[in-house]
Amino acid sequence: MKYKRIPCELFSKNRIRFSEKMDNNSIAIFHSNDLMPKNADQEMAFKQNSDLFHLSGIDQEETILLIIKHDYSVSEHLFIRETNEHIKIWEGEKLSKEQASETSGITLVDWHTNFKDILYGYLKKPSIVYLNSNEHPRANIVVETRDARFKKWFKSKFPNKIIKKASNILYPIRAVKQEQEIALIEKACNITKLGVKRVLNFLKPGVFEYELEAEILHEFIKNRASGFAYEPIIASGSNACVLHYNSNNKICKSGDVVLMDFGAEYANYSSDLTRCFPVSGRFTTRQRNVYNSVLSVFKNAKKILKPGLLLKDYEKEVGKLMEKELVDLKLLSIHEIKSCKSTPAYKKYYMHGTSHHLGLDVHDVSGPDQPLCEGMVLTVEPGIYIPEEGIGIRLENDILIGKKQNKDLMEKIPIETEEIEDLLNI
């Protein structure tokens, strides 16, 4: 790992918050992600299961966490991969038991090869077992996970146990960040700011989108980020009208605007930013007008976010803001807006949602219909896309919900047209 060690108190507190919601005489089981294969004998870079990391801080494959609640007392047992001579030579040493305990705050640590033998002992009394699974509403799961394989095995061996979803407890907890988590997200945002500064100095007509991507990645790695929190979008001209464009292989031409959607990942915590820059250093009148319409929605949407609000109600309010701007830009008429009965008229030019939770996952988890509350971090990212004009504008910052006042974690990253043009013409 490139990031500085995180104090184990964060993970201990997360486990306490989880165990408080567990039924008495129950056990919860969490597995790490798999090492995913490439072709031949290669493997992809390892990415830890965010639920397991949230509860343990262990950033290593073949890790298993047990949380046992019995007679209203809680115990914890961690299982990690043991280093042998082959692993030591080819991969480097894995965590020792002492290091795993120091990282997680869990006293009882064993090798993962002993897991099933020890599990049988723990399961003699508990009737309820919490198993982990990816329950994100937009998850597209095509590869069987370690958690899913374990669930099949578990149900065949222990058919009389009551299985509950760990996510029903964990997702609402993960949605509300602790102070240390907020600091880590803010660190990721600050590294993203450095990436913006670097790419502004490099942008000019004739550069390729992938060259801009490379400049940003250089700055991220230099500052101890693991890299991009998600596949970056570097979309110039009409490419910006493709919402998930990431080919990043076209030349940035004079007169175009380049939409850059990227964020650094630090200590597994994500940031998520979008900015739009004129390649030649100046916006055209039309580009500026569309940009300022998006900026107006962005600023007002930030003000709407507050504790107690449901995201579905928030999106309706943002939709009204967007309708006004699209009418002003002569993209929609009042008649078109009023005559739409099902899908809102503004969706023709603004197809996606405005906000999502942010944390260990870029599209972070939350409880279903969980109201916003202090400590949540959400993006605000309105956009207007006009394919027939080759213009796509989206602006995005990460917002910490406060009790009385929100905090924009990216407020120091340039966003006004004047400051962007000034920086591009130094």
Pick the CATH number of 9-174 from 3.40.350.10, 3.40.50.1980, 3.40.50.720, 3.40.50.920: 3.40.350.10
Q: Which residue has the tokens 């023709």?
A: 348
Query: CA nearest 52: which of 84, 76, 21, 83?
Result: 76
Would you give the DSSP letter of residue 260?
Answer: E
Residues forming a β-bridge with 265 = 227, 270
Q: Are strands 73-80 and 257-262 parallel, antiparallel or unpaired?
A: unpaired
User: Domain 179-424 in CATH: superfamily?
Assistant: Creatinase/methionine aminopeptidase superfamily (3.90.230.10)
* Domain parsing of the chain, residue ranges: 9-174, 179-424
| pLDDT confidence of residue 251 | 98
pLDDT tens for each residue of the chain, 426 residues long: 789 999 999 999 999 999 999 999 999 999 999 999 899 989 999 999 999 999 999 999 999 999 999 988 999 999 999 988 888 888 888 999 999 999 999 999 999 999 999 999 999 988 999 999 999 988 888 899 999 999 999 999 999 999 999 999 999 999 999 999 999 999 999 999 999 999 999 999 999 999 999 999 999 999 999 999 999 999 999 999 999 999 999 999 999 999 999 999 999 999 999 999 999 999 999 999 999 999 999 999 999 999 999 999 999 999 999 999 999 999 999 999 999 888 999 999 999 999 999 999 999 999 999 999 999 999 999 999 999 999 999 999 999 999 999 999 999 999 999 999 999 998
Nearest-angstrom CA–CA distance, 13 and 17: 6
Q: What is the pLDDT of residue 146?
A: 95
For the full predicted model, state whether its pTM sits above 0.75: yes
Determine the pLDDT at residue 83: 87
Give the model's pLDDT for residue 408: 98
pLDDT at 110: 98
Backbone torsions φ then ψ of 199, nearest 5 degrees = -70, -30
Residue 87 forms beta bridges with which residues?
none
pLDDT computed for residue 241 by the predictor: 98
pLDDT tens for each residue of 212-245: 999 999 999 999 999 999 999 999 999 999 999 9
The Cβ-side half-sphere exposure at 64, using a 13 Å CA radius, reads 21
Q: What are phi and psi of 121, to 5 degrees?
A: -65, -40
Nearest-angstrom CA–CA distance, 252 and 260: 12
Q: Return the active site residues.
A: 41, 244, 261, 272, 352, 356, 363, 381, 385, 394, 396
Secondary structure class of 364 (helix, strand, coil)? coil
Give the pLDDT score at 340. Answer: 87
Identify whether the C-beta of residue 83 lies closer than 8 Å to the C-beta of residue 62. Answer: no
CB–CB of 193/412 below 8 Å? yes
Residue 392 has φ and ψ, to the nearest 5°, of: -135, 120
